[in-house]
Amino acid sequence: MLAVLTVPISSNISLCTFEGYKFGVFGLCDDSDCTRPRIGYKPEQTTLSGFSLPSNARHSISFLLVVHPISAAFTAVQIILTYLLFYNMFSSQSKFLLLVLFWTLPTFLLGLLSFLVDILLFIPHLNWCGWALLVPVVFIAFCGTTLCIMRRTVTSRIAYKTIQDRKTNGFYLSSYANNYYDDEEDVDDDSSSSLFDDETTHISSYLDSSYPSSRMFASESNSIEPPQSSATPAGDDIQLQNLAHQRHIDRPPVSIFSDEP
């Protein structure tokens, strides 16, 4: 920004002083008069000998002095953005740090280009104001490096916090899911056991109502004593006939021990 204030804007600050002429960004001055502010020098203003480049090259390069005001504007915005980083609400946001980092790159390039233009135009008669342009270039480079470190730190902190939150939420969700499925299994076991009991009762009642003879037969079979062994075939035949009579069988079975055909 200091280079923008050189002659003819200010008569005391210049980029180069040679043979009574003071060169600035927007023109030059002699001991009595100054040119009107403009970008680039006229051909007759670059005919002075004693510089490293020829006059034609210096005349063409003088139009590149326009990068000084552009670089000054970018540097002013860079200062404002850097000042905002002192507040936690801005310094803790990775997106804002990325924005400042992207803005730092063209600011650095424009400042470096301004310094190189002054070197090409005014070496070996460059004043302290021209050399002073190197200071903001170094400062901007340091600022960009610091921004990279800050953004890396903030991004790592956010990623670590996100992982911890996911682990915590996953623990609570897994505990809730386990409790939920345990409750569901208990309910399924209770319902299945009750359903099995209901089905068993229903089947038993259905069998009792549909087949009363089976129940009577079971009760009668329980009351019947087992047949005693007999040494004669006639005794076995009599016992079989008695059993058939008790079971309400109309026709008694034919004895397997009888002599009839």
What's the pLDDT score for residue 204? 53
Tokens 């600022």 correspond to what residue? 143
- The model's pLDDT over 138-180, given as tens digits with 9 standing for 90+, comes to 999 999 999 999 888 888 888 877 887 777 766 555 555 555 5
Tell me the C-alpha distance between 78 and 146, whole Å: 14
Confidence class for position 90, pLDDT limits 50, 70, 90: confident
Tokens 């499925």 correspond to what residue? 181
What's the pLDDT score for residue 183? 54
Supply φ then ψ for residue 202, to 5 degrees.
-65, -40
Instruction: For residue 141, give both structure tokens.
Output: 């480079």
What's the pLDDT score for residue 12? 83
**Widest distance between CA atoms in the chain:** 167
Supply φ then ψ for residue 9, to 5 degrees.
-70, -45
Instruction: For residue 233, give both structure tokens.
Output: 């075939």
Tell me the C-alpha distance between 111 and 239, whole Å: 128
Q: Which residue has the higher pLDDT, 136 or 244?
A: 136
The amino acid present at 257, given as its one-letter code, is F
Domain 3-161 has CATH 1.20.5: no
Q: Looking at the predicted structure, is the pLDDT value of residue 190 above 80?
A: no
Confidence class for position 243, pLDDT limits 50, 70, 90: low
- The model's pLDDT over 14-72, given as tens digits with 9 standing for 90+, comes to 888 888 888 889 988 887 788 888 888 888 777 777 787 888 888 888 899 999 999 99
What's the pLDDT score for residue 222? 47
Tell me the C-alpha distance between 62 and 39, whole Å: 8
Q: Which residue has the higher pLDDT, 177 or 115?
A: 115
Supply φ then ψ for residue 90, to 5 degrees.
-100, -40
What's the pLDDT score for residue 218? 45
Percent of the chain with pLDDT over 90: 20
What's the pLDDT score for residue 113? 94
Task: Provide the whole-model pTM.
Answer: 0.61
Q: Which residue has the higher pLDDT, 197 or 80?
A: 80
Domain layout of the chain by residue ranges = 3-161, 197-251
Q: Looking at the predicted structure, is the pLDDT value of residue 233 above 80?
A: no
Tell me the C-alpha distance between 54 and 192, whole Å: 102
Instruction: For residue 70, give both structure tokens.
Output: 């552009």
* Three-state secondary structure readout of the chain: CCHHHCCCCCCCCCCEEECCEEECCCCEECCCCECCCCCCCCHHHHCCCCCCCCHHHHHHHHHHHHHHHHHHHHHHHHHHHHHHCCCHHHHCCHHHHHHHHHHHHHHHHHHHHHHHHHHHHHCCCECHHHHCCHHHHHHHHHHHHHHHHHHHHHHHHHHHHHHHHHHHHHHHHHHHHHHHHHHHHHHHHHHHHHHHHHHHHHHHHHHHHHCHHHHHHHHHHHHCCCCCCCCCHHHHHHHHHHHHHHCCCCCCCCCCCCCCC
Q: Using an 8 Å Cβ cutoff, are 68 and 25 in contact?
A: yes
What's the pLDDT score for residue 79? 93
Instruction: For residue 238, give both structure tokens.
Output: 């009599």
